[in-house]
C-alpha cells in the first residue's frame, strides 16, 4: 500500500461513487476496481459494499481510510518540513479561501507577498466558507481565510470587518424594501442567515424575490439593469460598479457586518513560509 492507494481510498470515501472517483483520480473505472480488489486481497477484508445511495464502507474499510488520511497528512507535513530546511522562505504555501475573498482581495494580496518572497509558490483552493473550514480541519491547507465566526480551537485572527450593503441602480428608501424586488444569489448559509435575521427584524412581510442567480457578480449586473435591489457584503463593491449602496443596521443601531477570519493550526507556524505569510496578513491592511 503506497501514496497512490492512500489518495485513492480517501477520494472514494469522500465521493461514495466509483464513476466520480475514477474521474477525479484520472483513471478508468476498471483500473480503479482492479486496484481496490488487490487491496482487499492484500488485507483480507471487504472495504465497502454498494447501496442504492452509493458506496458504504465497512468498519474495516473506514479504519483503513483513517490510516490513509493520517499517512497523507504525515507525508505532506514531511514535504513541508524538508522544503523549510532548504531555505527560510521558499516552497508551496497551501491556502484555503472563501470565494468572495478569493475573487476581490486574494490576487493583489498574493502578488504583493510574491514581490517580498519570490521563491514562494501557492496552492489555492477556494469555495464556500464551510468548505474551506472543512479543508482546514482535515489539514489540507496551511491557513484558511473564511467569512464566518466558526468555533475553532486553533489560532484565529480577525482580518477585516465590513458592513452589509443594500445596492440599487437608483437611491431607494430602505423602509420600503418589502415593496420592492429582491435579487438573490448563491452564497454560504451563514450570510443567508444573517440577511434573513435582519429582514425579519425590519419587516413583517417576506421579500419579493425577483430573481435567483448562482453568482454574486451576476446579481450585481442585474441590479445595474434595474431589475431590483440586492443585499451584499461590501467586499464585492467597486467604484466602477456605479451603484448606490446603503449600509444596513439593526433596530438598536448596530451595523450588520460580515467578518473575515484567518485560521490555522498553531504548529504550522513552525514553517517559515507559513509564519511569514501570517505576519504579512496581520501587518497589512486588506
Give the number of domains in the chain.
3
Q: What average pLDDT is seen over the chain?
A: 91
Question: pLDDT, tens digit, for every residue of 34-48?
Answer: 888 888 888 999 998
Query: What range does the domain containing 229 cover?
Result: 162-258
Residue 83 lies in a domain: no
| Beta-bridge partner residues of 155 | 264
Q: What count of residues does the chain have? A: 286
Residue 80 lies in a domain: no
Residue 20 has φ and ψ, to the nearest 5°, of: -65, -35
Question: pLDDT, tens digit, for every residue of 171-230?
Answer: 999 999 999 999 999 998 889 999 999 999 999 999 999 899 999 999 999 999 999 999
Question: pLDDT, tens digit, for every residue of 222-252?
Answer: 999 999 999 999 999 988 999 999 999 999 9
Question: pLDDT, tens digit, for every residue of 146-178?
Answer: 998 889 999 999 999 999 999 999 999 999 999
Q: Tell me the CA distances in angstroms from 209 to 62, 194, 233, 243, 257, one per residue in order.
A: 44, 17, 18, 20, 22
Is residue 186 located within the same domain as residue 121? no
Q: Which residue's C-alpha cell is 450588520?
A: 256
Is residue 179 located within the same domain as residue 246? yes
Is residue 264 located within the same domain as residue 146? yes
Residue 179 lies in a domain: yes
Give the global pTM: 0.68
Residue 54 lies in a domain: yes
Amino acid at each position: 500500500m503506497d501514496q497512490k492507494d492512500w489518495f485513492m481510498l480517501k477520494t472514494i470515501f469522500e465521493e461514495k461513487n466509483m464513476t466520480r472517483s475514477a474521474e477525479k483520480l484520472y483513471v478508468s473505472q476498471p483500473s480503479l476496481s482492479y486496484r481496490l480488489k488487490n487491496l482487499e486481497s492484500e488485507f483480507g477484508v471487504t472495504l465497502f459494499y454498494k447501496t442504492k445511495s452509493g458506496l458504504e464502507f465497512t468498519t474495516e474499510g473506514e479504519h483503513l481510510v483513517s490510516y490513509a488520511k493520517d499517512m497523507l497528512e504525515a507525508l505532506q507535513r514531511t514535504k513541508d518540513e524538508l522544503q523549510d530546511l532548504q531555505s527560510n522562505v521558499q516552497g508551496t504555501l497551501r491556502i484555503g479561501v472563501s470565494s468572495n475573498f478569493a475573487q476581490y482581495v486574494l490576487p493583489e494580496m498574493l502578488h504583493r507577498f510574491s514581490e517580498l518572497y519570490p521563491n514562494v509558490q501557492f496552492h489555492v483552493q477556494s469555495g464556500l466558507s464551510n468548505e474551506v473550514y472543512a479543508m482546514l480541519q482535515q489539514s489540507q491547507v496551511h491557513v484558511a481565510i473564511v467569512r464566518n465566526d466558526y468555533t475553532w480551537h486553533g489560532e484565529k485572527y480577525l482580518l477585516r470587518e465590513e458592513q452589509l450593503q443594500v445596492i440599487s441602480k437608483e437611491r431607494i428608501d430602505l423602509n420600503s424594501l418589502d415593496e420592492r424586488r429582491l435579487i438573490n444569489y448563491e452564497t454560504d448559509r451563514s450570510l443567508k442567515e444573517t440577511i434573513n435575521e435582519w429582514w425579519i427584524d425590519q419587516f413583517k412581510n417576506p421579500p419579493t424575490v425577483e430573481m435567483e442567480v448562482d453568482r454574486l457578480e451576476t446579481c450585481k449586473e442585474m441590479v445595474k439593469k434595474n431589475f431590483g435591489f440586492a443585499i451584499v457584503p461590501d467586499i464585492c463593491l467597486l467604484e466602477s460598479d456605479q451603484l448606490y449602496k446603503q449600509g444596513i443596521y439593526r433596530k438598536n443601531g448596530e451595523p450588520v457586518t460580515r467578518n473575515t477570519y484567518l485560521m490555522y493550526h498553531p504548529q504550522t507556524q513552525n514553517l517559515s513560509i507559513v509564519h511569514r505569510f501570517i505576519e504579512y496578513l496581520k501587518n497589512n491592511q486588506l
